Structure 1
Amino acid sequence: MRISDLLPSVLIGAVASARSMTPMAALAGAHLAHRRTPGRLWLLGKPLFTAGALAMGAGELYGDKMKSAPDRTVFLGLLARVMSAGIAGAALAPRGRERAGAAVAVGTAVPMAYLTLSARKRAMAEIGQTRSGLIEDALIVAAGVAVVWWGVARDR
C-alpha cells in the first residue's frame, strides 16, 4: 500500500477539524447516490444512520452561527471530531486498511481543530461570526463532498 492510498482519509480528517458532522453527512449523501466506500462501513446501510448524519450535518451548520456555540476544541467538540473523522477515515481507506485510515483521519482532525479555530477567530474579528461561519461552511462542505466523492471514485 502506498501512503497516497490514505490521502482521502487524511483530507476527511481536515474537514472534520472544522465541521465535525460534515464527513458523516457527505458519506450519507454518497450512500444515497448509491456510491460505495472502499472501506467497509456497515453503518451506511442503516437508514437511521443516513438520516441522522444528514440531519446532524445540517444542524451543525445552523448551530455554529449561534453566539452560544462552544469552541470546537472543547472536550465534546473534539470527541465528535474524533468519532466522525475515525468513521469517515475508515470508510475512505482501502479495504483491509480501515484502522490505518481511521488513525490518520483522527491524527489530522484533532490538531487541525486548533488551527481552524484560530483562523475562524481571526475571521470573526474581521467580518463577524455569521459571515465568517457562512464562508467556512461553504468551504468545508464543498471540501467534504469533494473528498468523499473522490474517495469513492478511486475505488472503482
Structure 2
Amino acid sequence: MWRSIVLGAVAGMRAMTPLAVVANAVRSAELGRGGGMLPRLMARPLLSAGALALAAGEMAGDKMASAPDRIVTSGMIARTATGALAGAAAAPRDRRALGAVLGATAAIGAAYATFHLRIIAQRRYGQSATGAIEDALALGGAALAARI
C-alpha cells in the first residue's frame, strides 16, 4: 500500500503527475494491470498521452507568477481526486478502495505540507528554482512508486 500513499503525496505536489506516471507504468507493464477497469482504462494510449500533456502543462504553469495556490478549493479537489485514482490503480485489486482512501488522504496532507514548505523556500530561492526542485521530487517519487 506504500505505492498508493506515495502517489497520493505526489498528487499533493502535482495533481496530474501520478496519473501520467501510473498510466505509463501500466502501459509499459512496470505496474501490473491486476484486473479491474481502472488500470485497463489508464493503459489506453489516449488517456496516457492526455495525462502526460496535462502533467507537463501543470509543471510549466507552476512556475508562473499567476499560478494559483495549490490549496485553493479547485486545486484541492483535483489533488484529492487524482490521489484517489492513482492510489486505487496502484493497489492490489482486492484493496483498491483502501488504496483510494490512502491516496486521497496523502494528497491532502502533502498539498498543505508542500505549500508551506514552498512558501518558505521561495523567499530564499525564488519561484522557478523551488518549482523545478519540486518537479524533480514529484517525478522521482511517482517513478519510484510505480516501480516498488
TM-score where L is the length of structure 1: 0.87
| Matching residue of 2:122 | 124
With over 3 angstroms needed to count, the CA separation of the structure-2 counterparts of 1:101 and 1:39, relative to structure 1, is farther
Equivalent of 1:110 in 105, 108, 111: 108
What's the Cα RMSD here?
1.4
| Matching residue of 2:90 | 92
Q: Could you tell me whether the CA contact under 8 Å between 1:85 and 1:102 is conserved in 2?
A: yes
CA displacement at 1:87 relative to structure 2: 0.7
Q: Which runs of 5+ in 1 are unaligned?
A: 1-5, 151-156
Equivalent of 2:13 in 6, 13, 18: 18
| Matching residue of 1:51 | 49
- Aligned residue pair count: 145
Equivalent of 1:34 in 24, 29, 32: 29
- Distance in 2 between the 1:31 and 1:100 partners? 20
CA displacement at 1:107 relative to structure 2: 1.1
- Distance in 2 between the 1:114 and 1:77 partners? 11
Which deviations, in whole Å up to 9, do the C-alpha atoms of 1:60-81 show, x marking residues without a partner? 1101001000011001111111
Q: Could you tell me whether the CA contact under 8 Å between 1:39 and 1:92 is conserved in 2?
A: no
Equivalent of 2:59 in 54, 58, 61: 61
- Distance in 2 between the 1:13 and 1:121 partners? 21
| Matching residue of 1:139 | 137
- Distance in 2 between the 1:140 and 1:101 partners? 19
Q: Which runs of 5+ in 2 are unaligned?
A: none
Which deviations, in whole Å up to 9, do the C-alpha atoms of 1:103-144 show, x marking residues without a partner? 011011112211110001111111000011011111111111
> Which one-letter code corresponds to 1:7 in the other structure?
W
- Distance in 1 between the 2:103 and 2:127 partners? 27
With over 3 angstroms needed to count, the CA separation of the structure-2 counterparts of 1:17 and 1:78, relative to structure 1, is same
Give identity over the alignment, percent.
43
- Distance in 1 between the 2:51 and 2:15 partners? 11
